[in-house]
Chain A
Amino acid sequence: MIEVQNLTKKFNGKTVLNGISFEVKEGEIFGYLGPNGAGKTTTMRIILGLLKPTSGNALVFGEDLGSNDKLRRRVGILLENDGLYEGLSASENLDYYSQLYGISDREEKIKNLLDFVGHSDRKNDKVGTFSKGMKRKLVLVRSMLHNPDILFFDEPSSGLDPEAQRMVRDLILQLSKEKRTIFLNSHDLDEVQKVCSKIAILHGGTIKAYDKVENLRNKFSKPIFEITLIDNADVLNALDILHSLDYVSDCEEDGLRITVTLKEEKSSKILNELVNNGISVEEAKRLAKSLEDVYLDVVKHSGERHEYE
């Protein structure tokens, strides 16, 4: 569906993207992460045919979107900029785009979509009078007007309240069930974690991590354990023991609870060390690693700095 091969983009001699490659298959929800200025928007613009790569290529359905006007009918977009005509009403905005995409049953489709996002009562109001969240919802349904096979979402939940954010997530999952492919450009790691099947983390113009979310969690995050002690008197002793172990990178104490970050997977050894030293342990459990941990780990450890987005 989307193939990005050895993509490089330079602006006035500055390298923004440096030989990035990834692939998004049919029905996948692909999360594209990275700090501001990492090159996410540039990548998306190249895939959408708005920018030409300096070298390498970005193909959608095996072709360059920029040079194939008809192929863009199969692509839906929600960019960071809403791209709405504020002087036109909600239904006029949708009607214009549905004409550009050559949709036949426009009226019914627009009505259904406005119902879906709860804008029916404001359909004749100028978009300029809408709140940011309302505009975002309108842009979301505009991207789906022509039933595209691939959707590019750039920060879809930006400006939305929690209820609307949940609606966006559910919608993305629903679209994926319908075998539609989603390219999600987002800063919202929680959102990405909940919906994406595969992610790539971009930093300094190169991809630092690219895999399924679960695989990346295992690969990048350090093992974290939470140990609960029985006796308060054991806490200081336990901390001394843990700090003395060379495979422990960090310990944080909160009452009887100690959170231990390991440099490597040696969880069973920790318990033995504590018990052998007379520490009474009530519970020891491995904490789930979040995508945030992975992301921060990747970004923190790639020392390069971004130049442009």
Chain B
Amino acid sequence: MSMNKIFTVARKEMKGIVKTRSQMLVGIFFALWFSVMITIPVVKTVEGSAVVDHFNNLIFYLVLMQGIFMAYLFSGKVFFEEKREGIIETLLCTPLSLRQIWSGKVVGVTIIAYLISLLATILITIIANIFSAILLLPSPAILFHISLVVPTFVAAAIGLLGFGHFLLGMRENQILNISIFIAIFFALFFTKNVISGGYAVSWVEVGVLLIVAVLLLALISYLTRFLSKERIVTTIP
């Protein structure tokens, strides 16, 4: 698979997202809003050294959820709009394979969604330190989580949403997208609680989540083999 073509599509998608100011503002607003509204009460109410665990736990969830929310927000523009407006038909006639188009879009959206997640991490850390008596920094497990688990999970979510957009008609997609978003949200909480009920984030939890994300990404990547141009073209409204 030519990486050049994938990055060409990825660059264009990134440019398209950044140029859509309203969408970028929504993304950044949510990163800011959730970071402020959730971090301040947590840091203010927890006393002593327990605040460190709470802080790490907060980043564990919040950054990942923000990344997935960005995936949901931007994949709508990149996959859904392109299909709704029929642009995808022209793209399918270029020398790119369907998997190259899908991969390029996933890479492009992942980069932007991940950058906003990083922004959320920085914001949470700054806000937490403003209201905390002790210095709060992400643990090594959380740093690993941010640098590897979050982008993999976000890519898997975008891949899954994009797969759905290509595969299904417009109405089914709208229902499915919300379902995927909610399912991922609850699966995440469930996984964390099954592994450990406490606030501390361990290497085991981060490792398990990474394995889940990698498997999910591999599964979706495999499923794209079954996508067809005919399926896409015949579901254009």
Contacts and interface: CB of A to CB of B under 8 A. Distances in A.
Interface of A: 11, 45, 48-52, 66, 69-70, 72-73, 75, 77, 79, 81, 83-85, 87-88, 92, 96-97, 99-102
Contacts of B8: 96, 99-100
Report the 3 A-B pairs with minimum CB-CB distance, sorted nearest first.
Answer: A83-B90, A81-B86, A99-B8
B146 to A, nearest CB: 30
Given A49-B229, A50-B92, A100-B8, 15 more contacts: A11-B234, A45-B233, A48-B93, A66-B229, A69-B97, A72-B94, A72-B95, A73-B95, A81-B90, A83-B86, A83-B87, A83-B90, A84-B87, A88-B19, A100-B95
A306 to B, nearest CB: 17
B89 interface: yes
A51 B93 CA distance: 11
B94 A50 contact: no
Interface string B60-86: 000000000000000000000000011
A102 B8 CA distance: 10
B20 interface: yes
Contacts of B15: 88, 92
Contacts, number: 69
B38 to A, nearest CB: 32
Interface centre among B5, B20, B90, B97 (most CB of A within 10 A): B90
Contacts of B87: 81, 83-85
A241 to B, nearest CB: 58
Contacts of B96: 69, 100
A45 B230 CA distance: 9
Given A66-B229, A88-B19, A96-B12, A50 B95 contact: no
A69 B234 CA distance: 20
Contacts of B234: 11, 51
Given A87-B19, A100-B5, A100-B8, A77 B93 contact: yes
A70 B9 CA distance: 17
Contacts of A85: 12, 16, 87
A41 to B, nearest CB: 10
Best-surrounded residue of B87, B91, B93 (most CB of chain A within 10 A): B93
15 contacts: A11-B234, A45-B233, A51-B229, A52-B228, A77-B93, A81-B85, A81-B87, A83-B91, A84-B87, A85-B16, A87-B16, A87-B20, A100-B91, A101-B94, A102-B95
Interface in B10-44: 12, 15-16, 19-20
Contact of A70 (B12, B85, B95): B95
Contacts of A73: 95
B233 A50 contact: yes
B158 to A, nearest CB: 19
Interface residues of B, number: 25
Contacts of B85: 81
B53 to A, nearest CB: 44
Contact of B233 (A51, A72, A88, A102): A51
B28 to A, nearest CB: 18
Interface string B90-127: 11111111000000000000000000000000000000
Contacts of A69: 95-97
A285 B96 CA distance: 57
Nearest to A68: B95
Nearest to A66: B229
Contact of B89 (A11, A52, A83): A83
Contacts of A45: 233
B13 to A, nearest CB: 10
Nearest to B232: A50
A101 B2 CA distance: 12
B89 A50 contact: yes
Nearest to B20: A87
A198 B234 CA distance: 30
Contacts of A100: 5, 8-9, 91, 94-96
Nearest to B94: A100
Contacts of B94: 72, 97, 100-101
A25 B179 CA distance: 51
A44 to B, nearest CB: 10
A52 B231 CA distance: 10
A64 to B, nearest CB: 12
Q: Which of A11, A77, A87 has the most CB of B within 10 A?
A: A87
Nearest to A70: B95
Nearest to A45: B233
